[in-house]
Amino acid sequence: MPCTVIVGAFWGDEGKGKIISYLALKDNLDFCVRTGSVNAAHTVWFEGKKYALHMVPAAFINPKTRLLIAAGANVDVKTFFEEVELTNVQGRIAIDQSASIIEEKHCAQDKASAVNKGIGTTGRGVGPAIEERVRRTAKLAKDIPELKPYLADQVQEVNDGLDTGKKVLLEGTQGFMLSLFLGGGYPYVTGRDTGASAIASEAGVGPTRVDDVLIVYKSFITRVGAGPLPGEITKEEAQKRGWYEVAAGTGRDRRSAPFDFDLAKKTAKINGATQAAITKIDAIFPGCRGAKIYNDLSKEAKDFIKEVEDKTGVPIVLIGTGPEAMEIIDRRK
Ligand code: IMP
Ligand code: MG
């Protein structure tokens, strides 16, 4: 803080939603800016209720946080209105006037494309909508009459906020390894760069204004869709280990693999991480479930965390021990 970028270390679904919702309350965020689009679902558990958010920033659980959708983002209007109602954030959420719009036809194109079927895209139309934006024929938020009451100049608001010391969180979506440019996985990637620099860029925040890059790891790795996943285990094995997950957005099986220290090191470096979070420590060390104090973790869990820190060179400041926003160990001063 005051300006922190949250970036996922692997192929998405690292638990960014949980970390962001915790920070919203704990650090009393002034602004939370969501980048990316509806292909990403961020899961927030709060007061026993589960939310899978595709448009609304995960910080919504703090009623004082201003919620913004970035200039570089792509908006699905129907999903936006559904989630605004679900989370009851009317009056404190806005979309940058220059964000672009995903139309029905983009979803149809996404689903009809044989190439996209092979890649296993989410079918939410994001790739085709970005193509249209690049061709300079896309509709923008300011062209949609129903969005009028929700328009803002997100870029100006956030930069003015930073001038006066406001706390800003830039919410990355998906994982670094799905980056169109950087993860090395092309063509099994999404339609944009998902790295920390791109997150700041989509929100119009210059690199020198970012104070911290918080990279989010999960205690094991998951991936949905096609493409390589080093160390992948079978679904049966994942179920046995308690790692089996279903995608929050599409309901597909998530493939899984053990934590990869070399990959964690590489992604920390490329994203310029200054801090790290690790979620789901209770999935690999069940005795740690619900712990809120570092010393309540088992020796094995502490050794694992130390190993991640030693190998990545990044301090692990937040440790997720359960799905609820407040089930976390916070090692920050
Ligand atoms: P697209 O982003 O829908 O074009 O899909 C491209 C690839 O990224 C597919 O393998 C998707 O499953 C994957 N993907 C897209 N968004 C997410 C996400 O939020 N979490 C995990 N995987 C994602
Ligand atoms: Mg997700």
Measure 243 CA to ligand 1 centroid, in angstroms.
Answer: 19
| Interatomic CA distance for residues 124 and 188, integer angstroms | 16
Element (H, E) at 129: helix 126-134
Report the nearest atom of ligand 1 relative to the CA of 40. Answer: 19
Q: State which of 13, 107, 190, 255 you would mutate to test the pocket of ligand 1, scoring each by most atoms of that ligand within 8 A of its C-beta.
A: 190
If DSSP codes are grouped into helix, strand and coil, which group holds residue 208? helix
For residue 299, the model assigns a pLDDT of: 98
Q: What is the pLDDT of residues 152-197, one digit of tens each?
A: 999 999 999 999 999 999 999 999 999 999 999 999 999 999 999 9
pLDDT over 90 (residue 316): yes
Q: What is the pLDDT of residues 128-160, one digit of tens each?
A: 999 999 999 999 999 999 999 999 999 999 999
pLDDT over 80 (residue 1): no
For residue 198, the Cα-to-chain-centroid distance in whole angstroms is 13
pLDDT over 80 (residue 332): yes
Which ligand neighbours the alpha carbon of 106 most closely?
A: 1
Cα-Cα-Cα-Cα dihedral sign, residues 223, 225, 230, 234: positive
Are 219 and 281 a contacting pair, CB within 8 Å? yes
CATH of the domain at 86: 3.40.440.10
Counted domains in the chain: 1
pTM of the model: 0.97
For residue 248, the model assigns a pLDDT of: 84
| Atom 21, ligand 1: residue with shortest CA distance | 12
| Atom 15, ligand 1: residue with shortest CA distance | 39
Report the nearest atom of ligand 1 relative to the CA of 178. Answer: 8
| Atom 19, ligand 1: residue with shortest CA distance | 40
Measure 103 CA to ligand 2 centroid, in angstroms.
Answer: 22
Task: Provide the token pair at 172.
Answer: 């990355």
Domain limits at 20? 3-330
Q: What is the pLDDT of residues 229-279, one digit of tens each?
A: 999 999 999 999 999 999 988 889 999 999 999 999 999 999 999 999 999
Mean pLDDT score, 206-225 = 98
Measure 92 CA to ligand 1 centroid, in angstroms.
Answer: 28
Q: Which residues contact 320 (CB under 8 A, 6 or more apart)?
A: 15, 18, 19, 277, 278, 279, 280, 281, 282, 327, 328
